[in-house]
């Protein structure tokens, strides 16, 4: 049975940390001021001002201690990861989730933060929030529908999203817990203590900056490890900044994905607004959703918003 952390109310504290890549304070200030405008208090982690001099937001030990402090602090009601990048997988096995299990809170982020979503969901059955991070608030993004969807989710509003039809969609209706995130991360988590469980669930996938052949390889990794078998439904989000090799791979992104999953009978949606782009709507991972794919369009809604799929 999935445990859903308490939803936030005005005056609650949101902690901001960088468990992976470095992010300058200048790029986080708009996020902080917006969260305060929403009525929350913000607690800044040490990793917001720490830089090991290279790619990471501090050494592994620093990032581990900062995130651990946020997980253990009962006054913090949500943890917003400043950015993804790479590095969460380097510290995940050293994190202690004992206090977090007793007092769950929303863990928010995407991309490399998929490590946390998968690990928490698979090991502790606690819901998390796949959604925009600090950078999304910049350049007017604080008023974007995707960022506002984060606020709605944190305040406990039922999420409900639509997207247009797609030629490769498999029509049908699916019900199940929603899990997923970044394809690269999920493929690399296979066989680890953070491996995702997908059977009878709705799986969503997105990625950025990958070569076409590598997307094919990672999808086959999921298929060979059984992650694409027995799904309730599949959601294909945005794959931004896709690259090709000097010798062209010979298939488009959607053709690659369709070829891997075409023999499965469950409903499949292409082009869903979850991605590294501006369309990245907040999704509660581990929470039950209804996915309805028709010739006229797609509807994904959190259970309790309307009657379940029949």
Rg (CA), the chain: 19
With contact defined as beta carbons under 8 Å apart, do 47 and 66 qualify? yes
Catalytic site residue from 117, 170, 258, 276: 276
Q: Angle at the Cα of 77 (from 114 to 272), degrees rounded to 5?
A: 35
Query: At a CB cut-off of 8 Å and minimum separation 6, what does 157 contact?
Result: none
206 in active site: yes
The Cα–Cα gap between 277 and 111 comes to 11
Catalytic site residue from 62, 111, 149, 302: 111
Beta strands per DSSP E along 75-225: 76-81, 106-109, 128-130, 160-163, 172-182, 202-208
Catalytic site residue from 149, 177, 184, 206: 206
If DSSP codes are grouped into helix, strand and coil, which group holds residue 161? Answer: strand
The Cα–Cα gap between 2 and 124 comes to 8
If DSSP codes are grouped into helix, strand and coil, which group holds residue 74? Answer: coil
111 in active site: yes
26 in active site: no
If DSSP codes are grouped into helix, strand and coil, which group holds residue 88? Answer: helix
Q: Which residues are catalytic?
A: 111, 206, 276
């Amino acid at each position: 049975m999935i445990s859903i952390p308490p939803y936030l109310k005005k005056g609650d504290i949101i902690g901001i940390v960088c468990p992976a890549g470095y992010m300058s304070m200048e790029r986080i200030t708009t996020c902080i001021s917006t969260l305060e405008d929403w009525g929350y208090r913000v607690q800044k982690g040490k990793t917001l001002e720490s830089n090991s001099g290279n790619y990471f937001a501090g050494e592994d030990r620093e990032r581990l201690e900062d995130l651990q402090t946020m997980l253990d602090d009962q006054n913090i009601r949500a943890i917003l990861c400043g950015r993804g990048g790479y590095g969460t997988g380097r510290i995940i096995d050293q994190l202690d989730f004992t206090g977090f299990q007793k007092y769950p809170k929303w863990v928010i982020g995407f991309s490399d933060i998929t490590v946390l979503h998968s690990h928490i969901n698979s090991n502790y059955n606690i819901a998390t929030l796949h959604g925009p991070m600090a950078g999304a608030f910049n350049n007017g993004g604080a008023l974007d529908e995707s960022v506002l969807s984060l606020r709605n989710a944190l305040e406990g509003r039922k999420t409900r999203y639509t997207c247009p039809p797609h030629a490769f969609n498999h029509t049908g209706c699916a019900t199940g817990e929603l899990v997923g995130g970044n394809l690269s991360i999920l493929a690399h988590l296979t066989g680890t203590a953070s491996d995702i469980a997908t059977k009878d669930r709705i799986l969503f996938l997105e990625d950025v900056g990958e070569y076409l052949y590598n997307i094919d390889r990672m999808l086959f990794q999921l298929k060979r490890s059984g992650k694409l078998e027995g799904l309730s439904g599949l959601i294909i989000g945005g794959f931004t900044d896709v690259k090709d090799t000097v010798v062209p791979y010979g298939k488009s992104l959607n053709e690659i994905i369709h070829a891997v999953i075409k023999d499965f009978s469950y409903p499949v949606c292409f082009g869903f607004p979850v991605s590294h782009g501006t369309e990245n709507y907040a999704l509660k991972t581990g929470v039950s959703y209804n996915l309805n794919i028709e010739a006229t369009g797609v509807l994904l809604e959190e259970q309790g918003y309307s009657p379940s799929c029949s």
